[in-house]
Structure 1
Amino acid sequence: MLPAAPAAPASTGTPSHSLLQQMRGELMRQPPFSLMGIADVDTFVTAATQAYFAPGEEVLGPQQGQVQQLYYLRQGHVSGRHGLAETAGGFQFDVGDMFPVGALLGGRAVTATYTASEDVFCLLVPLATVQALAARSPPFADHLNRRVAQLLELSRRALQSAYASQSLAEQSMETSLGALARKQPLGVPPLTLLSEALALMHERRVGSVLAVDEAQRPLGILTRHDLLSRVVLPRLSLSATIAEVMTAPVHCLDVAATAQDAMLLMSRYGLRHVPVVEQGRLVNVVSERDLFAMQRLSVKQVSGAIRSAADLPALRAMALDIRRLARSLLGQGVAARQLSELISHLNDLVARRALDLVAPRHGVDLGRACWLAFGSEGRSEQTIATDQDNGLIFDSDAPDRDRPQWLAFGREVNEVLDACGYPLCKGGIMAGNPACCLNVAEWCTRFNEWLEHGAPEDLLHASIFFDLRPLVGNTALAEPLQQLVLTHAPRLPRFMKQMADNALRQRAPLSWLGGVETTVDDGHEWLDLKLQGTALFVDVARLYALAHGVPQVGTRARLEAMGRALQVPAHEHEAWVAAFEFLQWLRLRLQMEAAGADPDQPNRLDLATLNDIDRRMLKESLRVARRLQQRLELDYQR
């Protein structure tokens, strides 16, 4: 006996007020309806008719011709198979999904066969209604065109709400500086006497005063923090001008820059105040307190403490603060790209300080060498649980003579970083390993060997080296390697084919019905978010970047450049980026929440811990990964 159909609009006429309310409430529990106006949701409901499909019954197929209606799945599951393109695998729609968006908006028939996996009830909405709603409801249009990005935003909002009690600030790091509350900045001519400038600071109760020219362009800055070292201790007369003691030139940011940009600028240059300009004219000053409102911990405090760490114990303590800071920023809703970029930046500072502490003990000159970052560190995509991937390139015409000194130096730095919470690389990709401590000619020979003669297994392990970033020392030493990869790799079809084969060894973990494939252990369903998630995007993006001579090594930048090179629609490569960043963000969250988890499996996710939005976004992200892999197959395995 078939289950009773859920209440639904009649096929003709207007639904009753009570039925309309019921359907509206049901839909508004799901995106995009939860973001739409009530009148627009009511339009969707009143235009819809309901259809039932028995288990195994075809819902849609290519032979039905051009799609005329949007299907909204109210109950059950619908699976699809891609007809002739069986290698594409299947997919599955869950309750709340709408399909087939691409075929409907493209005015064509579907290419897949859609089948009811169980008793299925769908709302069918005519194309004309869908087009009208998309024209007047931005959330509805965004959902149709950028479903992945919208689900990502909803997922981030849910996490921000969950972390609200732990967050030390509510300011999103994506906010533009122009959108921050403006206070009239204190600007004076550069010949203003110190006595007048300080009186104005006291009167206005501000921590800085800027010297500006007649067009209100910042020339320099004097902060309350500067007074002790520049005025009080030198016993400078207050009849001196501000131009004599100000910091010039001053680091400014445009109103289009973000709070994240200001945060990184403060960290890199040890600043407490950043002037904000619009078309060169001073319009605001933001302070560290304005941006973060953190009671105990700030980016500047952590980065400053790392830079000034006097010994290993101090450096180890500061490295531990990176996790605490990252957790706080995650609670503010900071995006995966920004958070991993910040973590990588602070990890870079730890590495730089370790190099500075160790170099004098070995009598080495960092001007004659360059510390190289590979893998996620090279891409500035490190998460909390990250091991070392580094190397050393040194300037020498007699490498066998000079290598022992550089190797000893590299080994001690590796040990210092290990003590700071960055485990030694199990694969031996470290500067203390002779294979990763080479002069320029030796590195170039090694890269050439991989590019021209490497076996598939060699390239599987060597691909991490192509995410190269010079970190400390004479960065010019790394330029021959970077140029070699950019110019030589695209001319080697055999190399590109092998890279594609390696990238396709691990497939997107989706079943033939489109469900997430997991490993069942102890009654739990597990998924490795790195191996079965972010790595899928990293490998594809790396290959296309090498193929098109893209110099960037970050996965986001590579995906965006790949979209432009392949001339795909903007919403498609935006979906690539959104899917990758969701998986990266999920890894960050998992690592910061899993205090007692297995340290050998920091990316192991229990699917039962996901909420409904994150579960849907995970499946959608893996679908995007599968489509990317299908594109790779068509381009390199035909």
Structure 2
Amino acid sequence: MPDNFNFEAAPFDTLSEYERNLLRSALSVGYYVPGETLIEPGSTTLALYIVLKGVVEERGKDDQLFAHYGPDDLFDVRGLFAGQTRHAYRAVEESIVYELNAKMFHELCERNAPFASYFQASLAAKRQLARRDGQNLAEFILTRIAREHLLPAVEVSADLSLGEAARTQLEVGADALLVRLEGGFEGLGIVTRTDLMAAHFQRRLSDDTPVGTLAHQPLAVVELGDFLFDAMILMTRQRIERVVVRQGSQPVGLLHLTQVLSLFSTHSHVLALRIARAETLDELQRAAETLDTLIATLEGNGIRLRFIMQLVSALNEQLLARVFEQSVPAAFRSRCCLVVMGSEGRGEQLLKTDQDNALIHADDISSEDALTWMAHFNEALKGFGYPQCPGGVMASNALWCKSVSEWRHELQTAAQEGRPEQLLRLSILMDAYPVAGNEHWFSSIQAQLSTWSDQGERWLSDMALAALQFDTPLTLFGGLKTSGERLDIKRGGLFPIVHGARILALRKGLMVRGTLARLQVLGKHGVLDQHMADNLAETFELFVQLRLSQQLAGDRSGLRQGLDVSRLSRAERDLLRFSLHVVKKFKQTLGRQFHLDTR
């Protein structure tokens, strides 16, 4: 009975002490010399095998090699559930293998649902089992808004006097009042305690003044049952301290920032306030310097990547908007729109990466003026720690600082000519997202992008081909392909998903932001099989998670590419290998959809 079995590795870390003792009692150790067969094809599967030392290979029909299994790897799970082994398993070198008999394996699966899920469930469930740290904070992030979190939603008529409104607030203990201006939910406005104090002490309004004159619209709204985290992101993005919670078409209460912050201690909203109140670039820089600390806190507490990305995206947008205000004269801010692209545009940036931005301005603004403003903007961001883009994809470059007519002409020309440099710029522009200025100027460009494939369909296969240009880092034997100990996850894993989803969305005219959102709508519209879309989303998150974890533990500049596979746990290596096979299948799907296999 082995005493040194690793119960810290998933899924064995889900077992209770009693279940661990059961496993120990049923565990044996096998020793195999090179060339010796562990399992014959077609035989009854007798055990779950866990490699302690050595290498075991899996071979199918015609002696085709499927995979190699090394220390901590598991096999033959498929045979355990099917009852029969399909392939042959042989020792490549001297190997020591733990063998958990099939009867006990199935008993543990029946006793322990998480243990069974690891072997039977989707990639999403497997990743959930691998995330075990920071459960208290993670549970808050995934907490749904409930009635016990809410302050009362008191509705009053628009003609109620300010004096009566103040007395009503005091009587019911309300932080704000909902004011009925017109019919329906959309006809509600809001007046806060601060509004009433300002009206009385600063504006010297009479107590008889109708409260409707102070009401703000439209309301910032979340649904009962939404995540608390969603409410916090909305407050952060709109720089407000409360949101209205509704159920269907009825308001059921108000959620205040203090209630959220009392449960959530990463101070993200405090950082948002520092950005909002910064008067100089130096103050903005000091606020930006704390962003990495916030990311490290969230990641270290086990918060899911898509939530972290949403929050960081909201904070980055506020930071860039404030730098824009410092760089562009007030009289011209409504005459142009700053957009970000790349991971920032997709809402996927975490640690600071290369700048990717552009300016769309009115036709009557001179190019010289616009370039001068953007040179100041890009230089300020460089001082904040955002490196300048080596490829020059920045608004201070004339190629990325144009009037709205010039941008429209470029899109039209790209549809007609399809030159490689035009298609590259188009794919970059697909990720554009407005963060400052007047969104009107961006909307017209986005509308043209949504119909671009009507004229540019013949160039889409050329654009899609880029997703296949980098090899998937898997060996012929199904193992992880590394250079030294490092695996190029950006080129071999992330880029095919990001670019493939982007081009599929462009072909369908789906103007949604971000890779995860694109995968969701591609699955919904049947462009991708729903199972594949879900697995790609989980794969994308896993790749970003693994890369971020290693960056936070070492070089945060992002200049050192690749994952250090030697630092991954066995469970992480299993997930990584599975996920790279998902990418490989997705690339095959792209090849079929765009007929790339004939090129």
Given the alignment of the two structures, is residue 75 of structure 1 paired with residue 35 of structure 2, yes or no? no
Q: Pairwise mapping of residues 206-225 of structure 1 onto structure 2 (< 5 A)?
A: 207=175, 219=188, 221=190, 223-225=192-194
Aligned counterpart for 1:471 among listed residues 406, 412, 435: 435
In 1, Cα distance between equivalents of 2:440 and 2:190: 34
Q: Identify the residue that residue 518 of structure 2 maps to in structure 1.
A: 558
Partner of 1:482: 446
* Alignment correspondent of 2:121: 146
Instruction: Report the equivalent of 1:584.
Output: 544
- Among residues 333, 338, 344, which one is paired with 2:307 in the alignment? 338
Q: Distance in 1 between matches of 2:481 and 2:440?
A: 46
Match of residue 549 from structure 1: 509
CA distance in 2, matches of 1:212, 1:135: 57
Shift of the 46–221 alpha-carbon distance from structure 1 to 2, 3 Å rule, reads farther
SS in 1 for 2:382: helix
1:367 and 2:349 are equivalent in the alignment: no
CA contact (8 A) 2:360 2:407 kept: yes
Counterpart selection for 1:31 from 4, 7, 10: 10
* Aligned with residue 280 of structure 2, among 286, 308, 311: 311
Report the Cα offset of residue 381 of structure 1.
Answer: 0.8
Amino acid at match of 1:177: I
Deviations 1:391-430 (A, max 9, x none): 1223328xxx932222222222212222222221111011
Structure 1 contact 292–298 (Cα < 8 Å) conserved: yes
Matched, 1:95 2:76: no
CA distance in 1, matches of 2:92, 2:521: 39
Instruction: Give me the whole-angstrom Cα distance separating, in 2, the residues matched to 1:474 and 1:195.
Output: 37
Amino acid of the residue matched to residue 146 of structure 1? A
Matches within 5 A, 1:60-209: 64=42, 69=45, 72-76=48-52, 77-80=55-58, 90=67, 92=69, 95=72, 97-99=74-76, 101=78, 115-118=90-93, 119=95, 120-123=97-100, 125=102, 138-140=113-115, 142-158=117-133, 160=134, 172-178=140-146, 181-182=148-149, 185=152, 187=154, 193-194=164-165, 196-200=167-171, 207=175
SS at match of 1:372: strand
In 1, are the aligned partners of 2:151 and 2:255 still within 8 Å (CA)?
no
For residue 540 of structure 1, report the CA deviation from its aligned partner.
Answer: 2.4
What is the root-mean-square deviation in Å for CA atoms of aligned residues? 4.5
Name the CA shift for 1:274/1:36 in 2 (closer, same or farther; >3 Å): farther
Asked if residue 503 in structure 1 is aligned to residue 447 in structure 2, the reply is: no
For residue 601 of structure 1, what is the amino acid of its counterpart?
L
Per the alignment, do residues 247 and 138 of structure 1 end up closer, same or farther by CA in structure 2, a change over 3 Å counting? farther
Question: Is 1:429 paired with 2:393?
Answer: yes
How big is the shift at 1:135?
8.2
Does residue 617 of the first structure (1) align with residue 569 of the second (2)?
no
Residue pair 2:190, 2:217 contacting (<8 A) in 1 also: yes
**Change beyond 3 A, Cα 1:604–1:250:** same
Q: CA separation in 2, counterparts of 1:498 and 1:82?
A: 36
Secondary structure of residue in 2 paired with 1:556: helix
TM-score, with normalisation over the residues of structure 1? 0.76
Do the aligned residues in 1 keep the contact of 2:309 with 2:350 (CA within 8 Å)?
Answer: yes
Distance of 1:92 and 1:529 partners within structure 2:
21
- Tell me the residue number matched to 2:476: 512
- The CA distance in 2 between the partners of 1:446 and 1:322, in whole Å, is 36
Q: Structure 2: how far apart are the matches of 1:591 and 1:98? A: 32
Aligned length: 586
2:352 maps to 1:376: no
Kindly state the Cα deviation for residue 625 of structure 1 after the two structures are TM-superposed. Answer: 2.3
Query: In 2, distance between residues paired with 1:558 and 1:106?
Result: 36
Q: Say if 2:495 is the partner of 1:535.
A: yes
1:70/1:104 contact within 8 Å kept: yes
Deviations for 1:168-222, whole angstroms, at most 9, x for unmatched residues? Answer: x6653232213x8546637475559346435436xx6x75566799x99895555
The amino acid of 1:467's aligned partner reads D
- Written as runs of structure 1 = structure 2, the 5 A alignment for 1:216-235 is 219=188, 221=190, 223-234=192-203
- Could you say if the C-alpha distance between residues 54 and 43 of structure 1 is closer, same or farther in structure 2, counting changes exceeding 3 Å? same
Q: Which amino acid in structure 1 is aligned with residue 14 of structure 2?
A: L
What is the Cα deviation at residue 556 of structure 1?
0.7
Cα distance 1:299–1:599, how it changes in 2: closer, same or farther (>3 A)?
A: closer
- 1:417 and 2:386 matched: no
Give the unaligned 5+ runs of structure 1: 1-5, 8-21
Identity %: 27
Seen in structure 2, the aligned counterparts of structure 1 residues 601 and 254 have a Cα distance that, compared at 3 Å, is same
Equivalent-residue separation in structure 1 for 2:591 and 2:36 (angstroms) = 32
Query: Please, which of 395, 404, 413 is the counterpart of residue 362 of structure 2?
Result: 395
CA distance in 1, matches of 2:343, 2:5: 43
**Higher RCO, Cα 8 Å, sep 6+:** 1
CA contact (8 A) 1:145 1:571 kept: no
State the match for 2:486 in structure 1. Answer: 526
Q: Select the residue among 559, 564, 589 that pairs with 1:631.
A: 589
Q: In the alignment, which residue of structure 2 is the partner of 1:272? A: 241
The 3-state SS of whatever aligns with 1:601 is coil
| 1:40-61 superposed Cα distances (whole Å, 9 cap, x missing partner) | 8899999999987654456678
Structure 2: segments with no counterpart, 5+ residues: none
User: Quick one: structure 1 residues 106 and 75, their matched pair in 2 at CA, closer, same or farther if it must change by over 3 Å?
Assistant: closer
Task: Provide Cα deviations, 1:16-72, integer angstroms capped at 9, x if missing partner.
Answer: xxxxxx8xx9586443454367898899999999987654456678x74xx975862
After TM superposition, the score normalised by the length of structure 2 is 0.80
Equivalent residues of 2:28, 2:100 under 8 A apart: yes
